[in-house]
Every structure is written in C-alpha cells, then in structure tokens.
Amino acid sequence: GRTLVRIDRWFPSSKLCSACGTAAESMPLHVRSWSCLCGAAHDRDINAAKNILAAGRADRLNACGGRVRPSIAVAQADETGSHRGAA
C-alpha cells in the first residue's frame, strides 16, 4: 500500500528552507541547525526529511491532492472531438 518515489541524488534537501524554498549557498556537514533569512529555524535532518517528503509528494499530487498524471481516459464512441486517424 506504499508508493516509492525516487528523487535526485543531488537534491539539496538539507540546505533548502522547507518554509520558503530558499537554498543556502553552502553548508558544511558540521552545521546541524541553521536559520533562514525568512526567519525559520531548522534542524538540518528534520528540514531535509520535510523537503524529501515534499519532493516525493510533488511528483504524485497537485496542490489540491489530485494526481499529477491522471490515468488516460478512453473516449466514448458518441463523444465529439478528434478521431484517431482523422489527420
């Protein structure tokens, strides 16, 4: 009942502000918490987890919770519109 979504290996999850989306220029690994210019304070690991979850959901759902890539619907025979091979 789960969906596995891959995100880019180089996605800047820990240095991307999960509140406003601003990316920090550089962040050494010893920095465990940081504050964004928007005022949000982040724990590096929790912030990364939020960004990874959001990236995975963005691939599957739109802002209203609907699927981004709806299944292909087959047109009914009595519907008007373009017909295959009409061009």
Q: How many CA atoms lie within 13 A of 33 on its CB side?
A: 4
81 belongs to a structural domain: no
Query: What is the distance between the alpha carbons of residues 37 and 22, in angstroms, rounded to a whole number?
Result: 8
Q: What is the pLDDT of residue 3?
A: 79
60 belongs to a structural domain: yes
83 belongs to a structural domain: no
- Tens digit of pLDDT at every position of the chain (87 positions): 887 888 889 999 999 999 999 998 889 999 999 999 999 999 999 999 999 999 888 766 655 666 555 445 445 555 555 555 555
Element (H, E) at 59: helix 44-60
Domain count, the chain: 1
Q: What is the pLDDT of residue 64?
A: 63
47: left (phi over 0), alpha (psi -120 to 50) or beta: alpha
59 belongs to a structural domain: yes
Query: Do strands 41-43 and 33-35 pair parallel, antiparallel, or not at all (unpaired)?
Result: antiparallel
For residue 41 the two structure tokens come to 């304070």
76 belongs to a structural domain: no
71 belongs to a structural domain: no
Q: pTM value?
A: 0.64
22 belongs to a structural domain: yes
Q: What is the pLDDT of residue 49?
A: 95
pLDDT digits (tens, 9 = 90+) for 24-46: 888 999 999 999 999 999 999 99
77 belongs to a structural domain: no
Range of the domain at 57: 1-64
